[in-house]
Structure 1
Amino acid sequence: MARRVFLHVGAPKTGSTYVQNVLWNNQGALRGAGILLPGGNWAQDQAMTDLREVEWRDPRASWTWQRLADEAAGWHGDVIVSNEALGGATPEQAARGVAAFAPAEVHVIVTGRDLWRTFPSMWQQSIRARNTWTFTEFLTAVEEGRFPTFWEMHTPNRMLKKWGDLVPAAQRHLVTVPPPGTPHDTLWKRFAGIVGIPDGLCDLEDPTANPSLGAAEIEVLRRVNGALGEKFPHRTPYQLVVQRHLVNAVLKNGRNDVRFGVGLDRAGWVADLAEQQIKELRDYPCQIVGDLDELRPVNMKESSSPDDLDESRVLETAIETIVGMLEHADELTRVPNADGIRALELLKLRAATRLKRTLKKAGRR
């Protein structure tokens, strides 16, 4: 039976990819230290979709939440389950999720980030999950209360109430994301300190970082999503093709030089929300690793929006993206015995041609 189980339930865009990459890149060392990561990265993701009973669960998925719990039950040390989408579980699903690991001592870890940085990151993440709304549409939906999923999955006070209330106060943990300019390993040290991972055990080099896209690159992806129709539906088909071959292979390597964020017209609203969160968290019994003041936005300044990009810049970035995809396709065709990959690239090139025509038409409007 596992001694302790640490459920890292979110939130997205709070350094979760970095933490998870360190965990999986050091799986062997952690196991030697008595810490199990049950299944694999994809297994834990599949288990999340099973627990949440989402309609976009991959029909080929074989890992369930119970299967994850069963593997943990056969371990005699500590266990870590980390998936940032767990924050989207309903209260009933969260209760089942915690109960599955009984009688182990279950700990809940939530990570929080200031809203000024969270809003643009969350919108970008939604576009990379096949959404098509503009940044303004997203912010307006959140502001008017028409996007409750944001609050459930991205605010630590909501996630702690839903997951943390299921375990004793001493087993609830909030990690605050450090501000820009903080040493890169600060977030990892905060997380590792909760679990008890010794300093120096893990190699902190992350060969698979998850950088943000620039305004032009994410706008191109948003328009591609709109042009896809029924092709590559969310979630697995989109990840295997669009995320892998367009986002990871090409867009992430683009210029990404136009940054964007929330405009100053919403600064007061964001600041008020932050103060409300901080107050609620000060009154909530849990271990705080970091500082609640880090949830208070700083350096709020006027930022551009992807919605305001000149069409010529979008077209220029789209053409650069097509060139990048051609180079990527050429690299793949040089792989020995890659007949299947060549066929896939042919389909992508045809799609890129259609995209180019569409964007040229848009540029003439």
Structure 2
Amino acid sequence: MAVRVYLHIGAPKTGSTYVQNVLWANQAALRTAGILLPGSAVAHDQAMADLRQARWRDAEVYWTWDRLAEQARAWPGDVIISNEGLGAATAAQAARAVASLQPAEVHVVVAGRDLWRTFPSFWQQSIRARSGWRFEEFLAAVESGRCEAFWDNHTAPRMLRRWGDLVPAQRRHLVTVPPPGARPDVLWHRFAGIMGIPAGLCAPAKPTSNASLGAAEIELLRRVNRALGDRYPLRTPYRRVVHRHLVDAVLKRRPDPLKFGVGLDRAEWVTELAEHQIKELRDYPCQIVGDLAELRPTGMRPTGSPDDLDEGQLLAAAIETIVGMLAHADSLAEQAQRRPDSAFSRLTNRAAGGVRHRLRRVTRRTD
């Protein structure tokens, strides 16, 4: 029976990919030390989608939440479950998740990041999840109170209320994301301290870029999403096709992308929101690792918006993207030619060999 289960539930774009890369790269060492990461990163993602009954989930996948929880309960030590999509679960779904892991001592771990960086990150993630709204549409929706999904799915206070209220205050943990320029291992050490991972057990991995797209690249993807209509409506097919062949293969690799963000005309509004958020978290009984001051925006500079790009800029980016996709297609064709002994070829050869063997046996009988 599990002793402690640490649920790292988000928020997205708070360094979760880096922390998870360290965890999974050291899965064997953690297990030896008595700390289990059940399944795999894919298993945690599938279980998250099942728990949330997300409309984009693949209903036939192996890893349900109940299967993941069963494996966690059976481990005679500590368990870590990490997926930034968990934070978007409803109160009822969160309650089900926590109950399914008891009688283990359940801890909830949430990370918070300053809003100046979070706003464009949330919008970009929504586009990369197949949305089609403009950046200004999103900001205006938040300003007018028409985008509760942002506060529910991307900010620490609401996640803590839904999940943290289910466990005692000493088992609620808020990690603040260090400001730009901080060493990535600072964030790792904050998480490791909460989860009781011994110092030196896990070597912090070299940061892998979960690269943000530039203004032209994300605007192209937004328009592609609009043009797709009802094609690739589910998460897995969309990732398999659009992410693999467009986002990851080409758009992420374009040199010198034009940065974008919230305009300085909204700086005062963002600052006021940040102060309100800091007060909320200061008043909420939980264990804070880091400093709430890190949630105050810093380095607010003039930036453009994808909405401001003219058609000439987008046409140039689109042509370069097509050229990149041609190179990607050529590379895939070359890989296929270099691997004639593919799984399919081996299966075909095995089947043909079986047919030849049976024919020889028949021939011997008739001689």
Does the CA-based 8 Å contact 1:127-1:222 persist in structure 2? yes
TM-score, normalised to structure 2, is: 0.90
Q: Which residue of 2 aligns with 1:350?
A: none
In structure 2, what is the Cα distance between the partners aligned to 1:330 and 1:54?
36
Q: Which residue of 1 aligns with 2:156?
A: 156
Percent of aligned positions that are identical: 68
Displacement of 1:340 after TM fit?
A: 11
Name the aligned partner's letter for residue 10 of structure 1. G
* 1:126-162 deviations in Å (ceiling 9; x for gaps): 1110111110011111111111111111111111111
Between 114-123 and 235-244, report the one with greater CA deviation. Answer: 235-244
How do residues 230-249 of structure 1 correspond to structure 2 at under 5 angstroms? Answer: 230-249=230-249
Q: Which residue of 1 aligns with 2:328?
A: 328
Structure 2 SS opposite 1:278: helix
Between 283-292 and 327-336, report the one with greater CA deviation. Answer: 327-336
Q: Which residue of 2 aligns with 1:284?
A: 284
In structure 1, what is the Cα distance between the partners aligned to 2:73 and 2:192?
22
In structure 2, what is the Cα distance between the partners aligned to 1:2 and 1:257?
46
In structure 1, what is the Cα distance between the partners aligned to 2:308 and 2:341?
41
Q: Which residue of 1 aligns with 2:83?
A: 83
Name the aligned partner's letter for residue 40 of structure 1. S
Name the aligned partner's letter for residue 35 of structure 1. I
- Which has the higher Rg, Structure 1 or Structure 2? 2
Q: Which residue of 2 aligns with 1:112?
A: 112
Give the number of aligned pairs. 341
Structure 1 residue runs without a partner (length 5+): 342-365
Name the aligned partner's letter for residue 138 of structure 1. F
Displacement of 1:20 after TM fit?
A: 1.2
Displacement of 1:202 after TM fit?
A: 2.0
Q: Which residue of 2 aligns with 1:354?
A: none
Q: Which residue of 1 aligns with 2:147?
A: 147
How do residues 1-365 of structure 1 correspond to structure 2 at under 5 angstroms? Answer: 1-206=1-206, 208-335=208-335, 336-337=339-340
Structure 1 SS opposite 2:79: strand
Displacement of 1:60 after TM fit?
A: 2.5
Displacement of 1:26 after TM fit?
A: 1.6
Measured at CA, do residues 276 and 207 of structure 1 come closer, stay the same or move farther in structure 2, by a change above 3 Å? closer
Structure 1 SS opposite 2:184: coil
Displacement of 1:93 after TM fit?
A: 0.7
* 1:210-257 deviations in Å (ceiling 9; x for gaps): 011111111111111111112211311111111122111111111242
Structure 2 SS opposite 1:130: coil
* 1:314-353 deviations in Å (ceiling 9; x for gaps): 1111111111111111111122249999xxxxxxxxxxxx
In structure 2, what is the Cα distance between the partners aligned to 1:54 and 1:245?
24
Does the CA-based 8 Å contact 1:213-1:256 persist in structure 2? no
Structure 1 SS opposite 2:81: strand
* 1:275-313 deviations in Å (ceiling 9; x for gaps): 111111111111101000000111222211010012211
* 1:46-89 deviations in Å (ceiling 9; x for gaps): 11111111121113212111111110111111111111111111
Structure 2 residue runs without a partner (length 5+): 345-367
Does the CA-based 8 Å contact 1:217-1:256 persist in structure 2? no
Structure 1 SS opposite 2:8: strand
Q: Which residue of 1 aligns with 2:362?
A: none
Measured at CA, do residues 272 and 73 of structure 1 come closer, stay the same or move farther in structure 2, by a change above 3 Å? same
Name the aligned partner's letter for residue 181 of structure 1. G
Name the aligned partner's letter for residue 184 of structure 1. P
Displacement of 1:205 after TM fit?
A: 2.5
In structure 2, what is the Cα distance between the partners aligned to 1:144 and 1:234?
30
In structure 1, what is the Cα distance between the partners aligned to 2:342 and 2:132?
33
